[in-house]
A = this chain, B = another copy of it.
């Protein structure tokens, strides 16, 4: 089920939508903008159909050959369209991977936006924060190949809808938990500590266990939210 609620950059150049989510005021609890970049503009029927075909083809090929071996031409061929179509729709290879990633992010988003406590609404902000890190780490581990492959340009990461949502969500929780300081910066710091690449490095090359990282997250959240 390709929900098609997935935002994607129909316009290759991207250039980001202006000032989007307010720097310090948006409350994701009340507004559910989901992936903020807004719904993709209306696609013509054939374009929408091809978009779905392409995402499915890409997913299928990736499962078979791995993300690094995914070529634009093979995706186009597998979907039965021309190569130009892939580029028009997703801008570039990274854009395709990001679209794929956003598409798979749905479950996690549902869990922390509207799922049951302690991650979803209903639990105290601090509890939600504590629950968020471990869940995020596990999610990223599951999709780490795609996530890492889609990170070719470090700056682009910050424009990915899924990541923007995470940031604003964590920032909101920090605000609710009365964390002091620059909450946006704190949110980035917190999320950086469970970054997919970092987790992969620490568990693979530095032989840390995922439980150690969970513990690290708890410590960090505790320290950042603790009153003076």
A-side interface residues toward B, CB under 8 Å? 1-2, 5, 16, 23, 65-69, 145, 148, 151-155, 157-158, 181-182, 184-186, 188-189, 192-193, 195-198, 200-202, 205-208, 212-213, 215-216, 219-220, 223-224, 226
Asked whether B69 lies within 8 Å of A2 as measured between CB atoms, the reply is yes
Asked whether A193 lies within 8 Å of B188 as measured between CB atoms, the reply is yes
Min CB distance, A156 to chain B, in Å?
9
| Assembly CA distance A200 to B158 (angstroms) | 11
| Assembly CA distance A181 to B216 (angstroms) | 7
Residues of B within 8 A of A184 (CB): 202, 206, 208
Q: Considering only CB atoms, which chain B residue lies closest to A205 in the complex?
A: B158
From B188, B216, B226, contact of A198 by CB (8 A): B188
Asked whether A212 lies within 8 Å of B154 as measured between CB atoms, the reply is no
From B68, B182, B208, contact of A5 by CB (8 A): B68
